Amino acid sequence: MAQRENGGKGRYIGSVAPSLAGLTLLIGLSLGYPSLIFPFQSEVSTLVFIVICVLGALAGQYPSQIRGLTSKTPRRDEVGPGFFGHHPSCGRFDTHVLKFRGKVLCAGCTGLTIGAVAAAMISVYALFYPIQAPALITLVIGVMLAGIGIIQYSLSREPRIHLVLNVALVTGVAVARIGASQLNGGIAVDAYALALSIYLIIARIDLSSGDHEAICGSCPNPCERSYVTNRNLSIIDD
């Protein structure tokens, strides 16, 4: 059990530490000397970010399929009897789900989807109506929101807070990208901010996978719906 917990902690740190370092580096790069600025760079950068937001929304709606693209582990079947969305319908996953009008929703996935829509809208608005706050303050606020979102599993297990922190993660990335662009404007910073956005989505998916495995790994009564794939159970689909 201790070995499993240490492995889960190592996986958590392995996703969180690079994410926080990447956000911090964004501030450092934005304070540096601007690189080349190309015509229509802001428009193209915003369009690419919106595409990333769409991918983030898809990750929120179809987490198992997206996880199958980012993990070497074969995708497990997460639909049908015994599941609330993509969570096993046992009490150990109560902190991951919300009940709304008779439906059971994944708090994290719902937050990612709402955040992705909000981030896209913020980005389009800022393209036509630049944020009037000082660029450095905008950047720092965005980095703080994204940082809080990425460490959410250390902050709370309340599903409603879980939802809010996922919204904060994605909208924070959007605000940070806008602040970095206004502060620096160079193509290098723009490209880095976009690459960081993709990485944070992947890191968020990996953190969710790790938490699911930790929950099932500590369960004294393993079942066929377990996220732990090394128990010789029939939990992996074709």
Rounded Cα distance, 187 and 185, in Å = 7
Q: Cα-flanking dihedrals φ and ψ of residue 163, to 5°?
A: -60, -50
List the pLDDT tens digit at each of the 238 positions of the chain. 333 444 457 777 888 999 999 999 999 999 998 888 888 999 999 999 999 998 878 766 665 555 555 554 444 445 444 455 566 777 677 777 787 777 777 888 889 899 999 999 999 999 999 888 999 999 999 999 999 999 998 888 888 998 999 999 999 999 999 999 999 989 999 999 999 999 998 898 888 877 777 777 777 777 766 677 544 333 333 2
Rounded Cα distance, 46 and 120, in Å = 8
Pairing of strands 83-84, 87-88: antiparallel
Neighbour-count burial of 203, counting CB atoms closer than 10 A to its CB (0-12 exposed, 13-18 middle, 19+ buried):
buried
